[in-house]
Amino acid sequence: MSVAISSGKLVSDLMDLVRREGHERGDRLPSIRKLSAKMGLGRNAIRDGLLEAQSKGFVKIEPRQGVYVQDLAPGSKSDGLEQTLAQSLAAEAQNLFHLIDARMLVEVELVGEAARNRRPEELLPLRQALESVLAIREDRLALIAADEAYHLGIARLAGNGVLLTFLRTLLGLLRPAKQSLMLSSGDRGQTDREHVELFRCLLAGDAERAQTVMREHIAKGRSLLLEHLNTMPGTVEENEK
């Protein structure tokens, strides 16, 4: 079974467990260790499932606090589309950089539409998502989850559900590579500045600038992955980062 398919089933099984145990919106879920024992799965699989569940809006991961229920609604039509996309993309071994290139095309378009279409009242949740990203320093899992939530929050402002679903699928497929990538303090600083600048562009309604920043942001991530792939494990260059 492919990673993408098992990930989708894991989210479904996870939310079924949450409903069976009577959890409601706002409830804190059991620890990853307890969920692992209840579901008979490894902790890494549970972590991946929670990340995927957050990207779908089912749960919210709060760094150093826990995982909280956000939405108990069953799968929607967009979930079916996402599963179809994931199955199609996972049917063949995907070139990592082709996925990044696809993300570039989709997300640059989405951020431009978001800057043109956003309403002021929609920016407060996005600001909160940005603050969550900036606050996380050491927890790699939590940082990836917060980063995805921020980018998907921007995408929602564009109002195109199909492209939003496509982006969510791409982020899920890129997640394993991101989990193995550690940022230097300089790289992290640049990433944070780009995230803040994206928010400023949305606040100002500057679509052209927002697209430029997003393009540079994704290109930087692409170059970091390429650098990581070209660095042999255990070398001085990697250990110094």
Burial class (CB in 10 A: 0-12, 13-18, 19+), 65: exposed
Considering the domain architecture, whether residues 134 and 221 belong to the same structural domain is answered as yes
Query: Which range marks the domain in which residue 63 is found?
Result: 3-69
Confidence of residue 15 (pLDDT cuts 50, 70, 90): confident
Number of domains composing the chain? 2
Considering the domain architecture, whether residues 113 and 203 belong to the same structural domain is answered as yes
Residue 54 tokens read as 């957050």
Q: What is the pLDDT of residues 140-155, one digit of tens each?
A: 888 888 899 899 999 9
Considering the domain architecture, whether residues 187 and 119 belong to the same structural domain is answered as yes
Residue 185 tokens read as 């303090």
- pLDDT (mean) for 192-220: 97
Sequence-distant (≥ 6) Cβ neighbours of residue 117 within 8 angstroms = 157, 158, 159
Considering the domain architecture, whether residues 124 and 56 belong to the same structural domain is answered as no
Residue 113's pLDDT is what? Answer: 96
Is 81 within the bounds of a domain? no
Residue that has been written with the tokens 């492919």 in this structure: 2
Average confidence score pLDDT of the chain: 82
Residue that has been written with the tokens 């929607």 in this structure: 76
Residue 75's pLDDT is what? Answer: 47
Q: Report the range of poorest mean pLDDT among 9-18, 91-100, 134-143.
A: 91-100
Each residue of 113-144: b (16+ CB within 10 Å) or e?
Answer: bbbeebeeeebeebeebbebbeebeeeebbbb
Is 234 within the bounds of a domain? yes
Is 177 within the bounds of a domain? yes
Is 80 within the bounds of a domain? no
Considering the domain architecture, whether residues 53 and 167 belong to the same structural domain is answered as no
Considering the domain architecture, whether residues 63 and 99 belong to the same structural domain is answered as no
Considering the domain architecture, whether residues 154 and 202 belong to the same structural domain is answered as yes
Confidence of residue 94 (pLDDT cuts 50, 70, 90): low
Is 39 within the bounds of a domain? yes
Residue 4's pLDDT is what? Answer: 38
Considering the domain architecture, whether residues 104 and 208 belong to the same structural domain is answered as yes
CATH of the domain at 118: 1.20.120.530
- Helices 3-20, 32-39: inter-axial angle, 10-degree rounding: 100
Is 102 within the bounds of a domain? yes
Which pTM does this prediction carry?
Answer: 0.67
Q: Report the range of poorest mean pLDDT among 128-137, 168-177, 231-240.
A: 231-240
Considering the domain architecture, whether residues 53 and 132 belong to the same structural domain is answered as no
* Residues 170/102, Cβ–Cβ less than 8 Å: yes
DSSP string over 123-135: HHHHHHHHHHHHH
Helix then strand count (H, E) for the chain reads 11, 2
- Of 69, 85, 114, the one marking the end of a domain is 69
- pLDDT (mean) for 50-71: 81
Considering the domain architecture, whether residues 161 and 50 belong to the same structural domain is answered as no
Residue 228's pLDDT is what? Answer: 75
Sequence-distant (≥ 6) Cβ neighbours of residue 170 within 8 angstroms = 99, 102, 103, 106
Considering the domain architecture, whether residues 65 and 166 belong to the same structural domain is answered as no
Is 82 within the bounds of a domain? no
Considering the domain architecture, whether residues 53 and 150 belong to the same structural domain is answered as no
- Select from 55, 12, 84, 67 the least CA-distant residue to 172: 55
Sequence-distant (≥ 6) Cβ neighbours of residue 130 within 8 angstroms = 150, 195, 196, 199
Confidence of residue 43 (pLDDT cuts 50, 70, 90): confident
Is 86 within the bounds of a domain? no
